[in-house]
Amino acid sequence: MTHDDSLKEKWITDVAKQHKSDPILIEKVIRALSLLEHLQNSGLEFIFKGGTALMLLLKEPKRFSIDIDIIISKKPKDMKTMLDAVIKNSDFIEYKIDERKSKSNIEKEHYKFYYTPITNARAEQEYILLDVLYEESHYGKHTSDIEIKSPFIKSEGKNATVTVPVPEAILGDKLTAFAPNTTGVPYGREKEVEIIKQLFDVGNLFDMVTDMTIVSEVFTRFAQTELAYRELKELNKEDVLNDVFQTALLMATRGQSGTGNYNELQRGIQNIKNFIFSENFHIERAMVPAAKAAYIATMLQTGTTKVAHFANPMEVEDWIIEQPFETRLNKLKKTNPEAFFYWYLIYQLDHIK
């Protein structure tokens, strides 16, 4: 369980120094994980998903995430009692329902859990957002139980466990979110950072995956569901995969090829830096997860299940992409061999289509 020291100023500032990050943001991460633990202890049955789930799944967390996203198959009658118990047993002061208008017919609830911040003297209260989705899980049987354990929190005794999708299942879900023209976080709504968050997560999840079977199964479910929610009846999962591919190609060629809004993607890359603590993220770095996303999309289109991972820059030395495929990608061989590696594999798979 989370030790009380985790919410003391010394612990928060020490962790902030370690990650060269803002203590206010570190406190939010700790509060989010604390909320997760109290939700689990309340008796509520749910699947924990989204960016914050990746902070537990990845061996080394890569980016900050401060929302709690959960799926509940059926809304419990005593939901209020359970949430009240979270307040009673934690440092959170109160919670409020965040009323939002939604065009979709999916049942969602958004709660704000308020706390008195230790690190931000300018604010009397801050909050952590809890997003609840009421529906049968599209992850199917592809879940596992993991400990609520993180370098951001100090633990003592036995850690609580929470149910999360396996990496392959989250990857199938996340891939649909990196498709801005179809099922993903859309352009034109000042959500460019959210688009890049999805891309960043896809790249990290890909590194954990060796087979595409589960990815394909879960992707298909999510793509069909999202298209139905958005009433895009004329589209299918192939359109979503093509959207992923074209968006990745747009990034790989710096807007010269592919389709989408390159300027918005660039802004997202520039503005995500506060959330990524594992590396200096810029357009050259973003080309790597983009190439991985395009590779995944092409594997799903061609029914390829076995995954290849980049290991050695020397491997690509004699590789050449030829027309009619996009030959501008050859420029990446010297400047970004890892991205080129995946585009060359895509080029090879493209002959199968």
Instruction: List pLDDT tens digits, range 75-122.
Output: 899 999 999 999 999 999 999 998 876 666 678 999 999 999 999 778
The domain locations on the chain are 4-165, 170-350
- Look at residue 68 in the predicted model and tell me its pLDDT: 98
Cα angle 159, 160, 163; round to 5: 130
- What mean pLDDT, rounded, does the chain reach? 95
State yes or no: cis peptide before 186, omega within 30 of 0.
Answer: no
CATH class of residue range 4-165: alpha beta
- 332 pLDDT above the threshold of 70: yes
* 71 strand-pairing partners: 47, 133
- Look at residue 312 in the predicted model and tell me its pLDDT: 94
Whole-angstrom distance, CA of residue 297 vs CA of residue 154: 39
The half-sphere exposure of 307 on its side-chain side, counting CA atoms within 13 A, is 23
Whole-angstrom distance, CA of residue 340 vs CA of residue 181: 25
- 353 pLDDT above the threshold of 70: no
Instruction: List pLDDT tens digits, range 54-72.
Output: 999 998 889 999 999 999 9
Instruction: List pLDDT tens digits, range 130-187.
Output: 999 999 999 999 999 999 999 999 998 899 999 999 999 999 999 999 999 999 999 9
